[in-house]
Structure 1
Amino acid sequence: MQEKSARAPRSNRERTEATRQALMDAARALFVERGYGETSTPDICAATGTTRGALYHHFVDKRDLFRHVLQREAQAVAADIETAAPSGLPPEQALIAGAEAYLRAMSLPGRTRLLLIEGPAALGHAETDAIDRRHAARSLRDGLAAALDPAQVPIDALAALLSAAFDRAALEIDAGADPAQARAAMLWLIGQVLATGAAQDTPKPVKRRTKA
């Protein structure tokens, strides 16, 4: 008697999702290697052994596929930050842990190019900024709001400026800068923000009048 397979056959839904992920994986590799402009949908189909019809079943076009690749990368970065800075962590420690997690997450080969170079070029800054605000930038903004008094500093503006600094650090590291120095500089910057906020929150001592 023929032995039954230990694993049950995959459902249509599982096969569909596997094809979708394979297309995204192949597209990611090609976008990193060649760039968005030099990657075609036939290239992606050839890398996965699928037809263009299968690709267009899952994605509207190459731009839509690229958008989904970027969203998956951004989600992975945010997940790493949230793992490193769980909700029970004190706000100051969470910001520092999140900063370190962001730089580690962005060191994954190809990720900085996808999110910070190819993304804005292919989708435009408005759309890539919107993706970032839903993920890593949101984590940073929430962390600052928890650690600082919004009456002392505009949180949204500060989050936007710090997010740009983090992106610049990731680009510098990707270009060959010393990761340890970039990390130290960003942690120093976060430390200065926290120290300034703490100083502003500290009540000033009341001067007592002395008798003449």
Structure 2
Amino acid sequence: MQERRPRITNEARSHAMRSALLEAGRALFLAKSYAETSTPEIVAAAGVTRGALYHHFEDKKALFQAVVEAEAEAVARSIGASSVDEPTAIGALIKGGEAFVTAMNEPGRTRLLLLDGPAVLGPTTMRTIDERHARKALREGIEEAIANGALPALPVGALTSQLSAAFDAAALGIEMGDDADDHRAALGALIEGLTQGKK
């Protein structure tokens, strides 16, 4: 008697198609940039129809935003994993900064999140995405450091913005050929320097 294969539900099929589109879009956006990637390339790489693309995403921009969100989430996971066992709040901030630089060093990711993302989605949307991920992790680390007395009671929002900008500048510098260890050392010194203002 022939064994029956389990039926694939419509929900599972739909999830598989969406995942394939995200994976194909990610690979192409990282390798080529948003502007250089066409929707026919995406659907061919995903092995789905053009109709499937527009069933799951309004357009290429919507797919791009979903990829950006997923990449931002991956960076935040790296930050969280790096500092989870760090015994001090300052150490956790430094480890988090190092993890950010390392995570952003994945080929194409800096361009995707710091150049193409703001250009395609706009700075407001990108900030909103960032506030759900890496910026959120940074803000929570700063809040903990202030609460523990490791940092002076500076305005959290402003300090988060300024450190976030420093981390982004480091990632962009490394993307353009700067030495990554130099940037890690500078970021660590920057965070350590904040403790000098503690009263």
* TM-score, normalising length: structure 2: 0.90
Q: What is the alpha-carbon root mean square deviation over aligned residues?
A: 2.0
Structure 1 residue matching 2:177: 3-state secondary structure: coil
Unaligned runs of 5+ in 2: none
Q: Please list, as runs of the form range in 1=range in 2, the aligned pairs for 1:66-105 lying within 5 A after superposition.
A: 66-86=64-84, 89-105=87-103
Aligned partner of 2:160: which letter?
A
Aligned partners of 2:23 and 2:195: how far apart in 1?
39
C-alpha distance in structure 2 between counterparts of 1:109 and 1:103, whole Å: 12
Larger radius of gyration: 1
For 1:187-206, list aligned pairs within 5 A.
Answer: 187-197=188-198, 200=199
* Structure 1 position 41, deviation (Å): 1.3
Q: Quote the offset at 1:13 in angstroms.
A: 2.6
Amino acid at match of 2:180: P
Q: Percent of aligned positions with the same letter in both sequences?
A: 48
How far apart are residue 15 of structure 1 and its match?
Answer: 2.6
Whether the 8 Å contact between 2:79 and 2:137 is mirrored in structure 1 is yes
The number of aligned residues is 196
Contact kept, 8 Å, 1:148 with 1:194, in 2: the verdict is no
The residue number in structure 2 matching 1:204 is none
TM-score (structure 1 length as normaliser):
0.84
SS of structure 1 residue aligned to 2:48: coil
Q: In the alignment, which residue of structure 1 is the partner of 2:130?
A: 132
Aligned to 1:112: 110
Residue pairs, 1:136-155, within 5 angstroms: 136-148=134-146, 152-155=153-156
The separation in 2 between residues aligned to 1:21 and 1:48, in whole angstroms, is 9
User: Matched residues in 2 for 1:24 and 1:37: separation?
Assistant: 17
Which one-letter code corresponds to 1:196 in the other structure?
G
Q: Which residue of 1 aligns with 2:12?
A: 14
Larger helix percent: 2
Does 1 or 2 have the higher relative contact order (CA < 8 Å, sep 6+)? 2
